[in-house]
Amino acid sequence: MDEKAAVELLRRMKRIRMAEEAIAERYSEWKMRCPTHLCIGQEVAGAAVGLALRGDDMVVSTHRSHGHYLGKGGSLERMIAELYGKASGCSGGKGGSMHMIDLAAGFVGSTAIVGGTIPIGVGLGLSFAIKGTDQVSCIFFGDGAVEEGVFYESANFAALRKLPVLFVCENNLYSVYSNIRSRQPAGRAIHRMVGAMGMETRHGDGNDAVAVHEELQEVVAGIRAGNGPCFLELDTYRWREHCGPNYDNDLGYRSEAEFLAWKAKDPIPQLCERLLAKGVLTAAAVAAMEAAIAEEVEQAFAFAEAAPFPPPEAASAHLYKESPCREC
Amino acid sequence: MSRMLTFAKAVNEALFQAMSRDERVICYGLGVDDPKGIFGTTLGLKERFGAQRVFDMPTSENAMTGIGIGAALNGIRPVMMHQRLDFFLLALDQLVNNGAKWHYMFGGQASVPITIRLVVGQGWGQGPQHSQSLHAWLCHIPGLKVVMPFSPYDAKALLAASIEDDNPVVFIEHRWLHNTFGHVPEGPCRELLGKARVVRQGGDLTIVASSYMVLEALRCAEVLAAIGVDIEVVDVRTIHPLDTATILESVAKTGRLLVADGGWRNCGFAAEVLAVVTEQAFATLVCAPQRVTLADCPIPTSPVLAVDCYPDRRSMAERVCRMLATDPDFDKLFPPLETPRDVPDKSFTGPF
């Protein structure tokens, strides 16, 4: 992998991790008053996809979207301000953690209904096909979303029309507290099932950032060349509770041992050590990278704290877009 | 404006003109390019505008709605169509959670200019799952616009406006209106969404109606005129957002309100109109406002069972006369029709 790209991959993952750790640390201040789903442990997908895509490619995502948003280049300050419910939040305080947008970065939106943005992403792909551009649409979702009917409907249409769509399924084994084995039959591999629908599929280790990025380079190039959609399943694990800043292994829906086994595969030190060993990065360079991110995170929180709340009357704004009235 | 056209042809013309005017407009839905062309409304579109812009779709109502919304987010203006409203219920998630919310929940940064045409069936044994007029559900959702035209002119003018609107619009067509004739100009025409229209002036009582119910209300008014009852008919046209001003103005004049609605009574559209008028103009009412709606049961299939479930000119007239404390001979006023009551007119040959 290109050294510069590898360093950028590490930086994006660290930025996601450090921003979310700061959210977790401050969540109990009760200033971020919205359901917040952290992706700590799952940073590879957002960082690697964001790096593999072009600025004008478009992404849609789920309730657990901080990593996807930041990975694509979304504004950190506006993300934190959105969690604070501020007017300068990325959605003006209307959305919160589960409804983020940064159109300048090509992040078209994340929503809170499982599977809800899958057809939206396919529709973006359809718009590229109609307009004849070579943009790619990327849809993030989890293993639970492939249990929704809308997934099959959307994948079918993407395959039928060979649309430029990248489906990224982060399989973290749990839908809230329900293990995949109580939801899908034993022996099923999601990517193989989807392959039977007539779509190219890949399967990767969601903790191996370099391998995922390399896979993505190839996959995105293929989609851009007009080969049709591709489905990428990544094995990964959510470290913290489904929703909120804490750990929840004490609930008993999964074992501490399972968590520790996944945590040992932490993708960030894996990549960092690899780059140190190869001499691509020095310890001092890593420290400088971390210091710069810490500074940015600190500034983002300061921005969010200082930002004004929207006025109460904003609650009834943006109900409809004002349409220009054409003359007959 | 002397040319007569059917409602279906007016819809077809609106689609042709919208697609000619704006290359971002696309049309899709099950059967848009089949030989019947959605009751004739989409005939010729594919030949004229090509398969890229006019296409059949998989039987996937929910995803195909979301796909339209996604395309709309990137500047496409989809017109999606369903041959029955009932089929569209599968797509409520995408319409309500995404279509109606996207502009609002992202602080006005994006919008969803999609138009969804739904057809409401009636008669010829449509039965419980091909006849539902669930427009009231859609009126409950902030962020949606819901249009229910009655006249062929409005079918053309309001569909043009719906397609040009930057918001999601549900455009509901009653199947019994498709073959009705009216004056329709040849050139492009538009009417503002959100405006009702007084389609018949009168001084004794206001009937508020939309879609096919307007036709029945006009027939009721015509019959009652013969016994000196002077009815005003308000065609709501856009049922959400509701033009309360036009309704209130009419009721202020007549003092009596009857709402005729093709949906069910409970929490229905008629209930909303009654609530608005009693809240805002109670003092102008000289008697309790009333409503005629579908009977509170699913629509059965047998014509013998189905016909009396629907409000019609006679049930409206009976209610009007009660409100005016007159008691004419209704059997004389409404002699049996030449055509069976489970079809709209003699030209109708079924099956749907």
| Angle between helix B269-281 and B244-254 (nearest 10) | 60
- Asked if B206 and B142 sit in the same domain, the reply is no
Q: Is residue B323 part of a domain?
A: yes
Q: Are A168 and A57 in contact (CB under 8 A)?
A: no
How big is the CA angle at B36 (ends B35 and B38), to the nearest 5 degrees? 130
What residue of A is the nearest CA neighbor of B108? A318
Q: B145: how many CB neighbours lie within 10 A of its CB?
A: 24
Q: Which residues of B94-120 are buried (b: 16+ CB within 10 A; e: fewer)?
A: bbbbbbbbbbbbbbbbbbbbbbbbbbb
Tell me whether residue B344 is in a domain: no
The answer to whether the Cβ–Cβ distance between B71 and A323 falls below 8 Å is no
In a domain? residue B205: yes
Closest chain B C-alpha to A304 CA, distance in angstroms: 17
Q: What is the pLDDT of residue B2?
A: 78
Which pLDDT does position B201 carry in this prediction? 98
Q: B179 and B212: one domain?
A: no
Residues on chain B touching A322 (C-beta within 8 angstroms): 166
Q: Same domain for B155 and B228?
A: no
pLDDT tens digits, residue range B31-83?
A: 999 999 999 999 999 999 999 999 999 999 999 999 999 999 999 999 999 99
Q: Of B185, B205, B226, which residue is a domain's last?
A: B185
Q: Which of B130, B174, B178, B240 is catalytic?
A: B130
Looking at residue A54, what is its pLDDT? 98
Q: Give the pLDDT mean for B174-187.
A: 96
CA atoms within 13 A on the CB side of B298: 10
B215 and B110 belong to one structural domain: no
What range defines the domain where residue B139 resides?
A: 2-185
> Residue B152 is encoded by which pair of tokens?
């062929």
Residue A218 reports pLDDT greater than 90: yes
Same domain, B72 and B219: no
Q: Which of B185, B206, B239 is the last residue of a domain?
A: B185
CA pair distance B175, B120, nearest whole angstrom = 6
Same domain, B22 and B119: yes
Alpha helices in B235-294 (DSSP H): 244-254, 269-281
Assess whether pLDDT exceeds 80 at residue B351: no
CB contact under 8 A, B63 and A122: yes
User: Which residue from B67, B72, B165 is facing A122, i.e. has the nearest CB?
Assistant: B67
Q: What average pLDDT does this structure show over A211-233?
A: 98
Cα separation, B68 vs B114, in Å, equals: 7
Instruction: Give the one of B107, B164, B165 whose C-beta lies nearest to A318's C-beta.
Output: B107
> What is the residue type of A16?
I
Tell me, yes or no, whether B173 and B80 share the same domain. yes
The CATH number assigned to the domain holding B119 equals 3.40.50.970
Task: Say if residue B29 is in the same domain as residue B154.
Answer: yes
Q: Answer whether residue B348 is part of any domain.
A: no
**pLDDT value of position A325:** 62
Q: Is residue B215 part of a domain?
A: yes
Number of DSSP helices (H) and strands (E) in chain A, helices first: 11, 8
pLDDT for position B347: 75
CB contact under 8 A, A118 and B109: no
A36/A27 Cα distance (integer angstroms): 9
- A vs B, Cβ pairs < 8 A, gives 157
B174 and B209 in a single domain? The answer is no
**Same-domain check for residues B241 and B173:** no
- State the average pLDDT over residues B180-184: 97
Our count of domains for chain B comes to 2
Are residue B178 and residue B217 in the same domain, yes or no? no
pLDDT tens digit sequence for A246-267: 999 999 999 999 999 999 999 9
Q: How many CB atoms lie within 10 A of CB A26?
A: 18
3-state secondary structure of B286: coil
- Closest of B180, B146, B158 to residue B13, by C-alpha: B158
Residues B163 and B241 in one domain: no
